Chain A
Amino acid sequence: MTGELVDLIRDAMRVVIDPELGHNIVDLGFVYDISIVDDAVGITMTATSPGCPATGFLKDGVVNSVSRVPGVGSVDVEMTFDPPWTPERIAPVVRASLGFAAVN
């Protein structure tokens, strides 16, 4: 049941995009962890750069999208830059379309 809810939460977050890279934060590898205790959801995520004006909107976007998932009571998002995000975290199919170096 928890596994299904995690999948639903992951799908819901696909509506949130990094505006610069133009892809959803799940495929970009911004989501580090999803934890569920009863109906309280905790999400640990990152962004490309600390201090970027988009970061706060990404966080709010995750709260907005996950709150709509049936079975979710509360959402707590923690933004971290440790470890920092790197392009290795991007899903391979998306990485190619973004024009990233093949070594990444």
Chain B
Amino acid sequence: MIGASISRWTMSYFATAVAWLFVALAMMVAGMGFPAADLTSPDTLVLVHVMCVGWLSLAMCGALFQFLPVLVAKPLFSERWALPALGLLCAGLASLLAGFLVLGGRLPAWLWLLPVGAVLLAVGLGLIVVDLGLTAWQRPTGPARFVLVGLASLCATIALGAVFTFALAGWGGSTGETILAGGVPLHAIAGLGGWLTLTAMGVSYRLLSMFMLSPDVDDRTSGTTLMVGSLAVTVTVVGGLLAVWLSSGLNAVLSIAAVLGVAAAALYGRDVLGIFRGRQRRRLELNTRMATLSFASLAGTAFLCAALFLTADFPAHVGALVFLAVFGWLSGLILAKLYKIVAFLTWLETYGPVMGRTPTPRVQDLVAEGKASKWFVIYYTAVWAGTLMLLMGQPQAFRAAALAMAVGVVGIVREVIRTRRLAYVAIPLRLPGGARAPHLLFASK
């Protein structure tokens, strides 16, 4: 296939994801959930799932609908499943969150909301897994292999999460109770490490190469990274379930997984360094410069993980570790790439159809990097300060950092909306004859 089409619902996924991100930031600023509450408290469960399902997973799915066809140079299996899946995910997440609020006594005792939410999420994510899986399977090479492993990890995450919800509702039997008692770390690592991190790594290989005109990382090199990362997830899920079943504790399994995870992060760092060294474009655009800060956050996460294990401080600071991974590495990377992807897709949608008939602006004419860069700097500085506050046990100062993060995100989102509105394009070029202004929330047919 030469040329992929524009994904109709990617913008809808991005907009919904950003809305959930604002919910999570508002919760942190208000002091709901960790660190004001315990890591396992119902409020923290709300916060974690708003972040991981509402923000990170929706943004990742939106990006994959557009860029997986680019990775495999094949069309998406089905465009029609994307919107129903989005509806199911939002309904499922809302039900799940309501279920957590029931656990915290904030709603009447409707525990059935938890399994209902899990089933809706499983159906919605199942549609996406089948759609993206069948697309990637058409050419399972290079970065697409990361996406396939990521999707498999997503299935494990959903399965474990569903078991938890049935157990919490009292419908899980003794097996469900056993898995709930010991399996939460497996669910978290499969989701954050397998689904979100491995998929982000795979997509980043291609996007970095494409936007910097660098040779693709060869399959053998990236294959080693993927193998070590996959092994970390497999050891966690399979070994972890076995350990839970045998009641032997998770320490050994999680220690092995941590070593493999840190090794995978190091190998990924080597691969990314190779892409930067081989780039043809010497001048880096803002999205790439800001992505380097997320790579630094991943390195920081790996370093912190190793340090906490060596000093036996892991249980006390696991919250800070997860915070840095979620907000520094994953959210930072997604925000940086969102800034670029929205500009690129907006250009294609608006100016692609009139190309050859009239002069058109460049993608870079749709953005004002000078204005956007300060918001990214505020965001990353706040994330790193927030991590430090968590390590130092300063929940009030953490809320101030969360507020600064929110300010940064508002600034970035404002810039993205201005890009989508073509606000930075010089008026004579903005809407040449035949061009149509794009809709904010979806791509026109």
Contact = CB atoms under 8 A, between A and B. Distances in A.
Contact of A17 (B279, B280, B362): B362
Given A15-B358, A51-B69, A101 B363 contact: no
8 closest pairs, A vs B, by CB? Answer: A64-B356, A61-B355, A61-B356, A22-B362, A56-B3, A55-B3, A51-B73, A57-B352
28 contacts: A15-B357, A16-B355, A16-B356, A19-B352, A19-B360, A20-B363, A21-B362, A22-B363, A48-B210, A51-B2, A51-B4, A51-B70, A51-B72, A51-B73, A52-B4, A53-B348, A55-B2, A55-B3, A56-B3, A57-B3, A60-B352, A61-B357, A65-B356, A65-B357, A66-B356, A101-B279, A101-B280, A101-B282
A50 B364 CA distance: 21
Interface string B1-22: 1111110000000000000000
B3 A51 contact: yes
Contact of B359 (A15, A19, A56, A87): A15
Contacts of B3: 51-57, 59, 79
A100 B280 contact: yes
A76 to B, nearest CB: 14
B4 A100 contact: no
Contact of A104 (B72, B73, B280, B355): B280
Given A19-B344, A22-B363, A59-B3, A52 B280 contact: no
Nearest to B283: A99
Interface string B342-353: 001101100111
A21 B210 CA distance: 11
B71 interface: yes
B353 A57 contact: yes
A50 B71 CA distance: 9
A55 B69 CA distance: 13
Interface residues of B, number: 37
Interface of B: 1-6, 66, 69-73, 210-211, 213, 279-283, 344-345, 347-348, 351-353, 355-360, 362-365
Contacts of B5: 53, 56
A75 to B, nearest CB: 10
Kindly state the interface size class of chain A when it binds its partner: 20 to 34
Nearest to B348: A53
Given A16-B356, A51-B1, A99 B210 contact: no
Given A53-B345, A55-B2, 6 more contacts: A51-B3, A51-B73, A54-B3, A56-B3, A62-B356, A99-B282
Contacts of A17: 355, 360, 362
Interface of A: 13, 15-17, 19-22, 48-66, 79, 87, 98-101, 104
A13 B355 CA distance: 10
A19 B351 contact: yes
Contact of B210 (A16, A49, A61): A49
A22 B364 CA distance: 8
A86 to B, nearest CB: 8
B4 A19 contact: no
Contacts of B345: 53
Contact of A48 (B213, B344, B358): B213
Contacts of B355: 15-17, 57-58, 60-61, 64
Contacts of B283: 99
A15 B4 contact: no
A50 B213 CA distance: 12
A13 to B, nearest CB: 8
A99 B357 contact: no
A6 B387 CA distance: 62
A25 to B, nearest CB: 10
A10 B105 CA distance: 72
Nearest to A14: B359
A19 B348 contact: yes
A49 to B, nearest CB: 5
Given A20-B363, A51-B71, A99-B282, A60 B356 contact: yes
